[in-house]
Amino acid sequence: MSDATMHDTHRYVKELTNAGLSESIAQVIADREARLLESNLATKADLDRLENRLIKWFVASLFLSAGLVVAGVGIVVQVLLS
């Protein structure tokens, strides 16, 4: 856990104990919540990989679209010339 998360966890435990929960139960709840939150966070590396995949799909789609247009124009030209 990062320092910021540990500090937030400590504050969360304090809030739960102030609300009437025992410290051990509050700690279990706070730890579990911290793990859940951290497991769903995307890192910069995750975002970079996603960006690269999106760029590859975009470029591939662009070339496919261009190829379909060229093929369509070729078919129209062949039909008009025959």
Residue 72 has pLDDT above 60, yes or no: yes
Same domain? For 48 and 12 the reply is no
Residue 19 has pLDDT above 80, yes or no: yes
pTM: 0.51
Sign of CA dihedral 56, 59, 62, 63: negative
Same domain? For 20 and 56 the reply is no
- The pLDDT value recorded for residue 46 is 92
Same domain? For 19 and 54 the reply is no
Counting the structural domains of the chain, the total is 2
Q: How far apart are CA 26 and CA 11, in angstroms?
A: 11
Which residues form the domain of 61? 44-82
Same domain? For 18 and 32 the reply is yes
Locate all alpha helices (DSSP H) within the chain, ordered by sequence.
3-18, 23-39, 44-81
